[in-house]
Amino acid sequence: MAESPDAQRSGDDGNGRFLARLIDLLPYLLVMAAAYLADRLSKQWAAGLGPEPQIVIPNVLSWTRVLNRGVAFGLLQGLGPVVGWLTIVVLIGFFVYLVRLPRAQWLVRFGVALLIGGAAGNLVDRLTAGAVIDFIAVRGFPYIFNVSDILLNTGVVIMLIGSYLQGSPEEPGLSPETSTSSEPEH
């Protein structure tokens, strides 16, 4: 297959576009990796906790290790394999969304990267151990959670804030400059 004349003139090839896109995504790939690593390291540490809660801040925070065989807040207990496969599909969807977001949507992209990194941590737990290690207990909050849950929720909040502040990406071809409306301009 021959290159188009435009590609020949610009010296642009598929590898060049791929490399440019990879460089553009690098900060978000690093955020994903850091989020995943923070979750994994915290769970390795939590796996060594004894059965009794450890008070960190009296009447506020304790480390209380439990195994969660469901999803967030212990819902859907016993559906581990289904939840695992569903999580894989959702993660792929969010990654495609991240790749397709315009560069100007950097805050939304950051939120998606946190969400993916956190969700990947819980996914690995589900696939390897059949359960997720939760260990953060906050007085007055009825559920025990983990770093991944914090990353997921923070990612969603950042995505929402980014969407509000930066607007939503427009559909290709529907921007005012490229509108094909038949109405006359005033």
Which CA distances in Å does 173 have to 163, 169, 177? Answer: 20, 12, 9
Residue 111 domain-assigned (yes or no): yes
**Mean pLDDT across the chain:** 83
pLDDT band at 76 (very low <50, low <70, confident <90, very high): low
**Tokens read off for 85:** 């496969």
Work out how many domains the chain is built from and give that number.
1
Residue 43 domain-assigned (yes or no): no
Residue 161 domain-assigned (yes or no): yes
Residue 103 domain-assigned (yes or no): yes
Residue 87 belongs to what domain range?
79-166
Tell me: the pLDDT tens digits for 139-149? 999 999 999 99
**Tokens read off for 82:** 């289904």
Residue 90 domain-assigned (yes or no): yes
Mean pLDDT, residues 43-72: 90
Residue 113 domain-assigned (yes or no): yes
pLDDT band at 150 (very low <50, low <70, confident <90, very high): very high
Tell me: the pLDDT tens digits for 8-40? 444 556 778 888 888 899 999 999 999 999 999
Residue 39 domain-assigned (yes or no): no
pLDDT of residue 75: 61
Residue 38 domain-assigned (yes or no): no
Asked whether the beta carbons of 136 and 151 are under 8 A apart, the reply is no
pLDDT of residue 178: 38
Residues assigned a catalytic role? 134, 149
